[in-house]
Structure 1
């Protein structure tokens, strides 16, 4: 059975959430930054099979090199040209995370290489910094930010996820485990209102 733990939980420094997904394939979704991720992963599992990135902003990848060195793993991400990425993943691909296969959804707007990872069978979404709890959405005032593209990406995400979505893991803040699709709809409304 798949278990998901946020190894960045309780960290007070600037970091993203970093989700350790234990199962048939033990994967870290986003590496976080500015904390002892290697120690926290090692306290939980003996081996790590891969790191999958939602995008390459520093708060999501700052620990990546140390994790790669410690666990001898490859990194998967949308931008195959990025120094940290060993294997490119594209919209429509799927990746095994824990016990489930996740569809890769290219969702730019916050950053060009942003992806969401969605398992229909598992009822689970890794949303990165596209959307957050209570209608929050990713900022678009950073390099590669594009508010129109962000709105289109949220629309795309809503067109793909089903009503069986039960858990949404986000890049910052709390996990959404009560009606996550509603939170995505709120984010779309809020993003449109602020356009």
Structure 2
């Protein structure tokens, strides 16, 4: 299986949309980049399903275009008019032959989930590696209506509790993909732990806030 960031050439603000390229391809989030469905079609002929980490605009603006092009199933924690099925905390989903636990991780969004596998995690916006605020472990913003720093702190702790020690890759909604260096002790767990420590300071994420 290959994983492609199909929004990497976007010129507008967008989340990272990840295409899991296998016999039954899966897209994690859709982003805001016009024409993202054409980029997906450069890699695969069909799309089996789209999984949403949450439904903020930067993650779903091009969702209809993707679903219209591929007639894919849609799975999300929150209600959506085109949702095929829901996602429940603790359930296990098979994506491209690999098992991922759905972990409910609110705080940045009420409907936020992360997909936690044996070797990688799709974390949406609850935790990212770099985002302009911190370069080696950051967290989703919590200063807008409906968001909660306290809930996000709990979610980061939940991820640490439920994430296998074997996770080596962090696919976040923004910033770079993080892959642990085998010659370094800076594993994905340490990245998330740093994000948790920073969130627990209760200071604004960005100095201008």
Q: 1:1-195 counterparts in 2 under 5 A? A: 2-79=1-78, 81-120=79-118, 123-133=119-129, 134-178=136-180, 179-194=187-202
RMSD: 1.1
Measure, in 2, the Cα distance between the counterparts of 1:102 and 1:25.
Answer: 15
Cα deviation per residue 1:141-183 (whole Å; 9 max; x = unaligned)? Answer: 2232011000000000000112211101000000010121111
Tell me the CA shift for residue 194 of structure 1. 2.3
Structure 1 residues 158 and 129, CA gap change in structure 2 (3 angstroms): same
Measure, in 2, the Cα distance between the counterparts of 1:107 and 1:48.
Answer: 26
Q: Compute the TM-score of the two structures, normalised by the length of structure 2.
A: 0.88
CA contact (8 A) 2:7 2:33 kept: no
Tell me the CA shift for residue 95 of structure 1. 1.5
Greater Rg by CA: 2
Cα deviation per residue 1:46-79 (whole Å; 9 max; x = unaligned)? Answer: 1110000000001001111011110011110001
Measure, in 1, the Cα distance between the counterparts of 2:142 and 2:82.
Answer: 23
**Total equivalences in the alignment:** 191
Cα deviation per residue 1:117-159 (whole Å; 9 max; x = unaligned)? Answer: 0112xx1100000001112100112232011000000000000
Measure, in 1, the Cα distance between the counterparts of 2:121 and 2:74.
Answer: 19
Measure, in 2, the Cα distance between the counterparts of 1:185 and 1:24.
Answer: 35
Structure 1 outlier segments of 4+, above 6 Å: none
Residue segments in structure 1 that go unaligned for 5+ positions in a row: none
Measure, in 2, the Cα distance between the counterparts of 1:158 and 1:19.
Answer: 23
Residue segments in structure 2 that go unaligned for 5+ positions in a row: 130-135, 181-186, 204-209
